[in-house]
């Protein structure tokens, strides 16, 4: 693992300071922006990438909005982890090795630590209690809407932290949170998420579940929070992965109004409780029938009955920087995709050491639906094991839909190279493996009997393997053109590969 002590990043502000030293990685504006659709509309062009409607810019800079309409003294940051290059800068790691770094960090966790008595958490420099008569989430924080169709303003980068009411073990993850009133948020929990398991236990006992929402943190935490089972089973605190990435435990602060902890250096913390047996229609304030743009590139339907968080307090740093993201943007690809890569690398390496060279959770699948796997066949007995590796990938990350297998001479991060392998090393009737009737990700809109009569119910899918590897006995007939190795800088001193 790279030396974590070399990174100057320890919170959102230090991450922004690092980007200021890197040419082309951060832009800012003093022009006032409306958080209602305009902010996301701007960043769609500047650097959203991912599955956003074209035109958009992949690998564009992160952006800082210094003036937000109606919210003096608050800035909004977007796009920080919107390129693998920036994530590599934050984590002191080559972009193509990030999956390996995350895999090693899961295996060497460092638990979070609680600040001692007398230590003032940065996240509690300013306190707003919901019991105050003028308290109103809607005027306190500029939660954006991504489009004019959204169900309402959303906190899209809230690090939700809660604990199992039976075991006390904690979990952190990111969920979409829609502002429903002055002190209520709706929360959509994808089936199988650990916080939902905690919520169900609390609800069965007729009790609320304390939950903190930390916004604006070290990017290492944003990435680490996106691991999923089976890599991080129930009771595994993903903050310990961030601890491994930084070489020390993430500092936590006791919340002021609930029995839970929050990230001490967060820009903003929302304290609240998930209420038992209370549900709300997600678009009750807009009646659009829509939720917000999600990672596959479509606007999701508003959910008819979502759990409710009753907000107890909002605390924040002085002049806070709110962190937000766009669902279909490249940020989602990296936050979801790099942990996906780590999970696949870990499972396949344990089963067949030395064969899987690398994995890319491709941007077109939002970091979840498509994985490109680079597999090296060494002996004749390896023929067919590449397909076993793909099956293991589906087990390592159950929401995965498609796997493209390529040889070690293919650049998995270059889509043209991957498609070249498909055109020259793949025969559809021989190299396509279908696994029908299994669960994938609920946000894939093609998972419907209306789309395919082979699907017996909503939410089922056909997982598919595209084997674009060369049969080992034919390897010598598929050698790529070999050019002379030269020092280009001798001819072009400023050339960067």
Query: In degrees rounded to 5, what are phi and psi of residue 358?
Result: -170, 165
Cα 278 to chain centroid distance, Å, stands at 28
The rounded distance, in Å, linking the Cα atoms of 289 and 190 is: 19
The rounded distance, in Å, linking the Cα atoms of 273 and 254 is: 15
Active site annotation includes 271: no
Identified catalytic residue from 222, 267, 294, 341: 294
Could you write out the DSSP letters of every residue in 305-359?
A: SEEEEEEEEEEE-SS-EEEE--TTSHHHHHHHHHHHHHHHHHHHHHHSTTTEEEE
The rounded distance, in Å, linking the Cα atoms of 171 and 236 is: 7
Cα 323 to chain centroid distance, Å, stands at 14
The rounded distance, in Å, linking the Cα atoms of 257 and 35 is: 29
- 8-state DSSP, 45: I
Sign of CA dihedral 225, 229, 232, 236: positive
Q: Which long-range contacts link 113-122 to residues 24+ away (Cβ below 8 Å)?
A: 113/248, 113/249, 113/250, 113/251, 113/252, 114/251, 114/252, 114/253, 114/254, 114/261, 115/251, 115/252, 115/253, 115/254, 115/264, 121/253, 121/262, 121/264, 121/265, 122/11, 122/264, 122/265, 122/266, 122/317
3-state helix, strand, coil in the chain (%, to 5): 30, 25, 45
Which pair of structure tokens corresponds to residue 446? 């093609």
Cβ neighbours of residue 107 under 8 Å, at least 6 residues apart?
Answer: 346
Cα–Cα separations (whole angstroms), residue 309 to 270, 306, 384, 421: 10, 10, 49, 49
Asked if residues 220 and 242 have their Cβ atoms less than 8 Å apart, the reply is yes
> Other C-beta atoms within 10 Å of 403: how many?
25
Strand arrangement, sheet containing 321-324: 26-29, 62-65, 75-78, 321-324
The rounded distance, in Å, linking the Cα atoms of 78 and 81 is: 9
Identify the residue whose tokens are 């960090």: 105
The rounded distance, in Å, linking the Cα atoms of 426 and 464 is: 14
The number of CA neighbours under 13 Å toward the Cβ of 406 is 25
Which residues are known to be catalytic? 294
């Amino acid at each position: 693992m790279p030396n974590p002590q070399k990174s100057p990043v320890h919170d959102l502000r230090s991450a922004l300071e690092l980007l200021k030293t890197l040419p082309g990685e951060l832009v800012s504006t003093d022009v006032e922006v409306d958080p209602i659709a305009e902010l996301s509309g701007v960043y769609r062009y500047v650097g959203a990438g991912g599955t956003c409607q074209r035109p958009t810019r992949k690998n564009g800079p992160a952006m800082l909005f210094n003036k937000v309409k109606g919210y003096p003294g608050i800035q909004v940051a977007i796009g920080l982890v919107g390129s693998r290059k920036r994530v590599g800068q934050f984590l002191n790691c080559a972009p193509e090795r990030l999956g390996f770094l995350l895999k090693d960090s899961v295996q060497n966790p460092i638990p979070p630590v609680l600040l001692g008595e007398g230590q003032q958490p940065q996240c509690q420099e300013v306190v707003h209690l919901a019991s105050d008569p003028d308290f109103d989430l809607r005027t306190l924080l500029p939660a954006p809407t991504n489009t004019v169709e959204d169900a309402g303003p959303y906190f899209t980068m809230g690090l939700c932290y809660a604990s199992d009411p039976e075991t006390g073990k904690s979990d952190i993850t990111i969920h979409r949170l829609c502002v429903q009133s002055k002190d209520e948020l709706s929360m959509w929990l994808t089936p199988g998420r650990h916080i939902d398991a905690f919520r169900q236990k609390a609800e069965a006992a007729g009790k609320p579940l304390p939950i903190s929402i930390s916004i604006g943190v070290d990017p290492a935490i944003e990435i680490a929070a996106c691991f999923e089972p089976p890599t991080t089973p129930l009771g595994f605190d993903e903050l310990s992965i961030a601890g491994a990435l930084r070489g020390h435990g993430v500092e936590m602060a006791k919340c002021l109004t609930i029995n839970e902890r929050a990230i001490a250096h967060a820009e903003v913390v929302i304290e609240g409780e998930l209420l038992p047996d209370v549900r709300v229609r997600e678009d009750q304030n807009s009646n659009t029938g829509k939720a917000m743009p999600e990672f596959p590139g479509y606007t999701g339907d508003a959910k008819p009955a979502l759990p409710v968080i009753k907000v107890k307090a909002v605390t924040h740093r002085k002049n806070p920087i709110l962190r937000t993201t766009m669902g279909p943007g490249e940020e989602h690809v990296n936050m979801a995709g790099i942990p996906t890569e780590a999970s696949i690398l870990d499972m396949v390496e344990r089963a067949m050491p030395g064969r899987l060279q690398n994995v890319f959770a491709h941007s077109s699948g939002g970091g979840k639906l498509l994985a490109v796997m680079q597999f090296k066949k060494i002996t004749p007995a390896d023929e067919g094991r590449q397909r076993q590796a793909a099956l293991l990938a589906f087990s390592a990350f159950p929401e995965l839909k498609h796997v493209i297998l390529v040889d070690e001479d293919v650049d998995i991060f270059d889509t043209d190279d991957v498609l070249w392998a498909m055109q020259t090393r793949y025969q559809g009737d021989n190299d396509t493996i279908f696994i029908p009737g299994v669960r994938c990700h609920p946000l894939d809109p093609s998972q419907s009997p209306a789309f395919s009569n082979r699907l017996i119910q909503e939410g089922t899918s056909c997982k598919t393997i595209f084997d674009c590897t060369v049969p080992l006995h034919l390897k010598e007939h598929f050698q790529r053109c070999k050019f002379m190795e030269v020092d280009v800088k001798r001819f072009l001193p400023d050339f960067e590969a």
